[in-house]
Every structure is written in C-alpha cells, then in structure tokens.
C-alpha cells in the first residue's frame, strides 16, 4: 500500500470515526477510551493552541488483535447500515 492510496477522501471524517471507534470499544467493554483531559487537548489542538504532533493517541497495544478487528468490523457494519438506511429513505 502506498502512502498516496491512504489519503482520506473526506479528511473531516477522522473525528467522527474516532468517536465511533471509542463508542464501540466501550460497548464491547474494552479498556480504552479518551478521558476528559484528552478531549480538552483535542479541543486545544483544533483551536491551534498546541500542535497536533505533541498529542499522543490512546494506547491500544494491550488490546488483542481479535478485539481490535472486532471494533473495526463493527465500525464497517454500522457505516454500511447507515448508508443503506440513507439510500432506502430517498
């Protein structure tokens, strides 16, 4: 996979997908999540008060590959369901 093929089509979707990832992980009972302090850091980054390079993501290294894959699968499933609902409502 080249770097060019990893370019996001809708860069603004990153935050929404990130929130969905943590929501699903919480539903599955996985011990990950952004604390209020992390959200404040994210807000400060968006305002330009601090640089995004100084912010570290939550660590998922203690999560098994199976559980991380389940989170990704659930994200995909929800996105497909939402797209189908949108298509059927047209």
Tell me how many domains the chain contains: 1
Contact call for residues 16 and 22 (beta carbons, < 8 A):
no
This model's pTM is above 0.75: no
With contact defined as beta carbons under 8 Å apart, do 31 and 62 qualify? yes
| Residue 44 in domain | no
In a domain, 33, yes or no: no
Q: Which domain holds residue 74?
A: 16-27+62-90
Interacting residues of 66 by C-beta distance below 8 A, sequence separation 6+: none
3-54 tens-digit pLDDT: 566 777 787 888 888 888 988 988 898 888 655 445 545 555 565 544 444 4
Within-domain flag for 83: yes
**Residue 85 forms part of a structural domain:** yes
Distance of alpha carbon 45 from alpha carbon 51, whole angstroms? 6
In a domain, 77, yes or no: yes
Q: Is 70 exposed, middle or buried (0-12, 13-18, 19+ CB in 10 A)?
A: middle
39 part of a folded domain? no
Residue 20 lies in a domain: yes
């Amino acid at each position: 996979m080249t770097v060019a093929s990893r370019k996001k089509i809708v860069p603004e979707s990153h935050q929404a997908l990130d929130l969905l990832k943590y929501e699903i992980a919480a539903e599955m009972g996985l011990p990950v999540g952004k604390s209020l302090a992390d959200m404040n850091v994210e807000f400060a980054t968006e305002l330009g008060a601090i640089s995004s390079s100084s912010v570290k993501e939550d660590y998922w290294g203690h999560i098994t590959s199976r559980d991380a894959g389940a989170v990704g699968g659930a994200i995909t499933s929800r996105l497909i369901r939402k797209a189908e609902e949108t298509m059927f409502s047209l």
